[in-house]
């Protein structure tokens, strides 16, 4: 298969497996979504979803979060790991939203990436999932799958993002980002697909097995 043929097959299969992929992080506003995405770094979505209700019960707006002592944020989010740095970034980010953006989460990559703790991947997730702007965030699962399936060299997440954007139509990026994550978690994990006997269905099909 050519890369384009692989991309078409992958899209068809993922649409069959996950026709209506839902955002795994529970949230109810762009701000609560941003905080949840920041907490998800090196942490499972399940754990984030257990912690955020406690955090949002005391601070679910930039104004409330900015007023909350950093130590209190750290105490609540400790189960998510990296609590000292995450709590500092969440507080700084919230203060910036209040001071520079009128308490609203900005809707451009440049403005989002100017916030503490918000890199390109987090900004891409917000732009795509919260604001409906075409973006293709690449996490560890997507990076791994793209390399395994011969869609990208896998040298860097930046290169993988560029390669995938060329292969898949822009209108598919929103769902495809989530579908790839779900498939990577459920079927094509980091420790599987190492031998012919352990190939997942997608790896088998793309390898012509």
Looking at 1.10.1670.10, 1.10.510.10, 3.40.250.10, 3.40.47.10, the CATH number of the domain 3-21+136-207 comes to: 1.10.1670.10
* Residue 86 annotated as catalytic: no
Distance CA 4, CA 164 (A): 10
CATH architecture under which domain 30-130 falls = Orthogonal Bundle (1.10)
* pLDDT, position 194: 85
DSSP string, 66-90: HHS-HHHHHHHHGGGS-HHHHHHHH
* Residue 45 annotated as catalytic: no
Distance CA 115, CA 109 (A): 10
- Catalytic: which of 45, 92, 139, 147? 139
How is residue 8 written in tokens? 């078409």
The answer to whether the CB of 145 falls within 8 A of the CB of 180 is: yes
- Catalytic: which of 60, 86, 121, 163? 121
Domain ranges of the chain: 3-21+136-207, 30-130
Distance CA 157, CA 138 (A): 6
Low-confidence ranges of the chain (pLDDT < 50): none
Average pLDDT of the chain is 96
* pLDDT, position 209: 62
């Amino acid at each position: 298969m050519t890369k384009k043929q692989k991309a078409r097959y992958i899209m068809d299969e993922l649409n069959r497996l996950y026709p209506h992929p839902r955002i795994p992080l529970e949230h109810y506003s762009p701000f609560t979504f941003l905080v949840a995405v920041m907490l998800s770094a090196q942490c499972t979505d399940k754990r984030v979803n257990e912690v955020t209700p406690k955090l949002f019960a005391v601070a679910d707006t930039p104004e409330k979060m900015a007023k909350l002592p950093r130590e209190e944020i750290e105490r609540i989010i400790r189960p998510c790991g990296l609590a000292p740095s995450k709590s500092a970034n969440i507080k700084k980010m919230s203060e910036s939203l209040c001071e520079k953006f009128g308490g609203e989460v900005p809707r451009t990559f440049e403005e989002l990436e100017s916030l503490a703790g918000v890199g390109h991947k987090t900004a891409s997730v917000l732009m795509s999932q919260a604001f409906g702007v075409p973006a293709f965030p690449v996490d560890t699962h997507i990076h791994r799958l793209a390399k395994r399936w011969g869609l990208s060299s896998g040298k860097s997440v930046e290169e993988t993002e560029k390669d995938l954007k060329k292969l898949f139509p822009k209108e598919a990026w929103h769902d495809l980002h989530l579908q790839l994550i779900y498939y990577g978690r459920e079927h094509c994990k980091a420790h599987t697909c190492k031998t012919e006997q352990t190939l997942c269905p997608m790896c088998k099909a793309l390898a012509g097995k």
